[in-house]
Amino acid sequence: MNNPVNDDVSVAEAFGANPGDPLPQLPGHVSHGRLERVLRAGDFAVTTEIAPPDSADPDEVLKRAMLFDGYVDAINSTDGSGANCHMSSLAVCAILTRAGYSPIYQLSCRDRNRIAIQGDVLGASALGVGNVLCLTGDDVGAGDHPEAKPVFDFDSISLLQTIKIMRDESRFLSGRPLDFQPKLFMGASINPFVPPIDNRADQFKKKVDAGADYVQSQYCFDIQMLKPFMNCALDMGLTERCFVLIGVGVLGSARNAKWLRANVPGVHIPDSVIVRLEGAKDQQKEGRAMCVEAMQKIKDIKGVHGIHLMAYRQEKWVGEIVRNSGVLGTRQPWAPEPVETTIGVAS
Amino acid sequence: MYAARLWASRHSRFLEQVYHAVNPSILAIVRGVTKLFGRRFDGAMTSIEAAAKGVLFDCKMCGDCVLSKTGMACPMNCPKSIRNGPCGGVRANGRCEVEPNMRCVWIEAWNGAARMKKGDAINDIEFAVDHRRTGSSSWLRLARNE
């Protein structure tokens, strides 16, 4: 039998027997991935992100991933974030799947045309990647190679459409058929915190219409702004059709917050956040406490299915923050070295 | 011209009316010219389209015009040439992440569409442009159903 899926269903379902083997695809699921299982089971999910190293050393990737063991359901691998060059997102994902992790392959339209992208999508699925996040990408001018040629053959929405065609219609855009389609849980990004505020839900709807199974938001430092957006999304029925993971960040200090606000496109941080950090004795600790509070408040908002915790240069605190927030309840996500019942899915 | 293009999306309702009034005659003229002279005047007609839309919309002649669906704001002026915008990087003051002196093309587009009678078309998903059409005329293509 030429079956690409692990046959030993009972063991694989529990732990993913050989971590590198994809899990069996459950009925009604579009991927083999653990993240889709967690979300479709109705559990509150937590994802985080890994900063791909400036290195060709695979151990460096695994070292960074290990920090999240037992606390997250999936790990985003950024694709040249901020238009800076790092190890490729696809390679990081491949290293992670070999160890059994559930990576989210961030795919931006900045560096590749439709020929390269479709090839990479097939390759990612072949390497066991179960999730993809479709992004337009930052402009090249923002990064360390501003002289590069920006591609932007697609935007995030045409990228979603393309992967959906490959997955659901088993063909390339050209119409040429695929022998085996990529099994990917498709994600997109939303940013309810920047103009045009009134159209952000419309833009979200376009992404859902284009095929997004889940979305991850930009940093939410302003819950009062998130609420009307989520109400709008609920009214439009979007949260029924698409899982919503809200992004939270860990601010290292008031200075760090001001820098982020001024230099990273699309980041909105209200003054009150900066004032609170400035007033704290230990700003780093306060930043983590604020993150924990934000996670708890966001979990209570109707229509939210999970948290995307971005802790750039604060990765070592991810475990503590997730634990203190209590958003996972008693559930412990899968880890390569399982302690007791670390299955990541409600049984 | 930047000022003209801002004017265009601010007066999208008016331009929509003009478009609906003028479009059939433009297409009829193109069809007539094609019938009489074949494709001899394609170059000239393309130049006329480029000049007219260039002044008013900063048209980039992508060959796949969607102005009537995007609030009379040409999406090809977005530095990321996003056809389904905006991106998530828009500045708090509504300006472009890449070009801080320019208003976000897609804010203009959504505002323009809200003023138009058939503005809802902005909710339609536009697929990526066919780059073989770059520099070619949308009018000719529409008139000939190509």
With helix as H, strand as E and coil as C, how does B45-82 read? HHHHHHHHHHHHHCCCCCCCCCHHHCCCCCHHHCCCCC
Q: Where are the domains of chain B?
A: 2-144
End-to-end CA distance of chain A: give it in Å, rounded.
29
- Residue A6, pLDDT score: 45
pLDDT in tens, A75-98: 999 999 999 999 999 999 999 998
Question: Is residue B81 less than 8 Å (CB to CB) from chain A?
Answer: yes
pLDDT-above-70 percentage for chain B:
100
Query: Do A307 and A246 form a contact (C-beta atoms < 8 A)?
Result: yes
**Optimal mutation site among A158, A163, A229, interface B, most CBs of chain B within 10 A:** A158
Collapsing DSSP to helix, strand or coil, A12 comes out as: helix
The answer on pLDDT for A12 being more than 80 is: no
Under CATH, to which class is A9-325 assigned? alpha beta
Residue A11: pLDDT band (50, 70, 90) is very low
Counted residue by residue, chain A has a size of 347
- Residue A20, pLDDT score: 62
**Residue of chain B whose alpha carbon sits nearest to that of A143:** B98
- Residue A344, pLDDT score: 40
The answer on pLDDT for A9 being more than 70 is: no
Those residues whose C-beta lies under 8 Å from the C-beta of residue A302, and which sit 6 or more positions away, are A230, A234, A239
Q: Which residues share a beta bridge with A164?
A: none
Residues of A in contact with B111 (CB under 8 A): 196
Q: Average of pLDDT values for A198-224?
A: 98
Question: Is residue B119 less than 8 Å (CB to CB) from chain A?
Answer: no
The answer on pLDDT for A110 being more than 80 is: yes
CB crowding A230-259: b at 16 or more within 10 Å, else e = bebbbeeebbeebbbbbbbbbbbbbebbee
| Stretch (H or E) spanning A154 | none
Question: Is residue B101 less than 8 Å (CB to CB) from chain A?
Answer: no
The Cβ of residue A148 has, within 10 Å, a number of other Cβ atoms equal to 15
- Residue A151, pLDDT score: 97
The reply to whether residue A268 touches residue B86, judged by beta carbons under 8 angstroms, is: no
Which member of A139, A191, A209 has the closest CB to residue B80? A139
Pairing of strands A243-249, A45-50: unpaired
The answer on pLDDT for A74 being more than 80 is: yes
Q: Average of pLDDT values for A120-126?
A: 96
- Residue A339, pLDDT score: 47
**The one-letter amino acid at B67:** L
The reply to whether residue B86 touches residue A196, judged by beta carbons under 8 angstroms, is: yes
DSSP secondary-structure letter at A73? S
**Residue of chain A whose alpha carbon sits nearest to that of B107:** A196
- Residue A177, pLDDT score: 98
Residues of A in contact with B106 (CB under 8 A): 196
Query: Do B80 and A135 form a contact (C-beta atoms < 8 A)?
Result: no
List, as ranges, residues 94-113 from A with C-beta within 8 Å of B.
109-110
Question: Is residue A205 less than 8 Å (CB to CB) from chain B?
Answer: yes
A·B CB contacts under 8 A: 96
- Residue A17, pLDDT score: 47
DSSP letters, A256-314, are HHHHHHHHSTT----HHHHHHHHT-SSHHHHHHHHHHHHHHHHHTSTT--EEEEE-TT-
Q: What angle do CA A22, A187, A265 make, to 5 degrees?
A: 130
Q: Average of pLDDT values for A182-193?
A: 98
The reply to whether residue B123 touches residue A155, judged by beta carbons under 8 angstroms, is: no
Q: Average of pLDDT values for B1-8?
A: 93
- Residue A19, pLDDT score: 59
Residue A18: pLDDT band (50, 70, 90) is low
Q: Regarding predicted confidence, which is higher, A251 or A2?
A: A251
- Residue A341, pLDDT score: 42
The answer on pLDDT for B20 being more than 70 is: yes
- Please choose, from the candidates A105, A206, A184, A229, the residue with its C-alpha nearest in 3D space to the C-alpha of residue B82: A206
Q: Does the structure's ipTM exceed the value 0.90?
A: yes
Q: Average of pLDDT values for A239-246?
A: 98
- Residue B1, pLDDT score: 83
Those residues whose C-beta lies under 8 Å from the C-beta of residue B78, and which sit 6 or more positions away, are B85, B86, B87, B96, B104, B105, B106
- Residue A23, pLDDT score: 82
pLDDT in tens, B44-63: 999 999 999 999 999 999 99
- Residue A336, pLDDT score: 85
CA distance B140 to B42: 8
pLDDT-above-70 percentage for chain A:
91
Query: Do A118 and A128 form a contact (C-beta atoms < 8 A)?
Result: no
The reply to whether residue A155 touches residue B83, judged by beta carbons under 8 angstroms, is: yes
Query: Do B82 and A155 form a contact (C-beta atoms < 8 A)?
Result: yes
DSSP letters, A167-227, are HHH-B-TTSPBPSS----EEEEEE-TTSSSGGGHHHHHHHHHHHT-SEEEEEE---HHHHH
The Cβ of residue A300 has, within 10 Å, a number of other Cβ atoms equal to 9
CA distance A61 to A63: 5
Q: Where are the domains of chain A?
A: 9-325
Q: What angle do CA A144, A67, A103 make, to 5 degrees?
A: 65
The answer on pLDDT for A8 being more than 70 is: no
Q: Which of A10-14, A170-174, A341-345 has the lowest mean pLDDT?
A: A341-345
Those residues whose C-beta lies under 8 Å from the C-beta of residue A247, and which sit 6 or more positions away, are A216, A217, A218, A219, A220, A307, A308, A309, A310
Which member of A157, A161, A195 has the closest CB to residue B90? A195
pLDDT in tens, A247-287: 999 999 999 999 999 999 999 999 999 999 999 999 999 99
Residues of A in contact with B81 (CB under 8 A): 152, 155
Question: Is residue B131 less than 8 Å (CB to CB) from chain A?
Answer: yes
CA-based max dimension of chain B: 54
- Please choose, from the candidates A43, A42, A21, the residue with its C-alpha nearest in 3D space to the C-alpha of residue A33: A21
Collapsing DSSP to helix, strand or coil, B138 comes out as: helix
pLDDT-above-90 percentage for chain A:
88
The reply to whether residue B86 touches residue A203, judged by beta carbons under 8 angstroms, is: yes
Average pLDDT, chain A: 92
Question: Is residue A206 less than 8 Å (CB to CB) from chain B?
Answer: yes
